[in-house]
Structure 1
Amino acid sequence: MKLRSKIILFAITPLLLSFTGIAIAVFYQATLLAQQQRDTIEQAYLASKEAELMHYVSMGSASIAHLYNAKQQNAALQVEAKKILATLAFGDDGYFYVYDLQGKNLMHPRRPDLVEKNLWDMVDPNGNFTIQELIGRAHAGGGAIRYLWEKPSTKKVVPKLGYVIKLERWGWVLGTGIYLDDVDTALNLIDVQVASNIHRTMFWIAGITIASAILIALSGLALNISESRLAEAKLKVLAQSVVRSQEDERARLSRDLHDGLSQLLVSIKLQIESGLAKLGAKISTPDPAHLAFTRATLQINDALGEVRRISHDLRPALLDDLGLVAAFKHLAQEFESISKIAMQFESLGDFTFLSEASNTALYRVAQEALTNIHKHAKNASLVRISLSCDQRQATLSITDNGGGFDLASIIKHPKRGIGLSNMRERLAAINGQLVVQSSADGTQVNANIYFKEVL
Structure 2
Amino acid sequence: MIKVFFSKLKNKIAFFTGVAMFVLAALITTTFSYITYRNGVRQIEDLEVRLMDNLDLLLISEVETAVSMLKGFNDKIVSGELGYEEGTRLAADVLRELRFGEEGYFWADTKDGTNVVLPGSTGVEGFNRIDLVDSHGNEFIRDILNAGISGGGFAEYWFPKLGETEALPKRGYSLLFEPFGWVIGTGLYYDDIEEAVQTIRVQRQEDLTRTIVWVVLIALIFVLLGLGFAYYAGLKISNPISDLSNKTREVAGGNLSVEVESRLNDEVGDLSRSLANMIKKLQQIVMEISEGASNVVVASQQMSSASQIIADGASEQAASTEEIGTSMEEMVSSIMQNTDNANKADSVVNESEQSMAQLTDAFKETLEAMEQITSRITIIKEISTQTNLLALNAAVEAARAGDAGRGFSVVAGEVKKLSENTQRAANDISQLSKNSLAVAKHAWELLEKLIPEFQQTAILVKEISASSGEQRTGADMINAAVQSMVNVTNQNSASSEELASSSEELASQAESLKDAVNFFKFKSS
Q: Shorter-chain TM-score: what band?
A: 0.3 to 0.5
Greater fraction strand: 1
Q: TM-score, normalised by structure 1?
A: 0.47
Greater fraction helix: 2
| Higher RCO (Cα < 8 Å, 6 or more apart) | 2
Highest CA radius of gyration, 1 or 2?
2
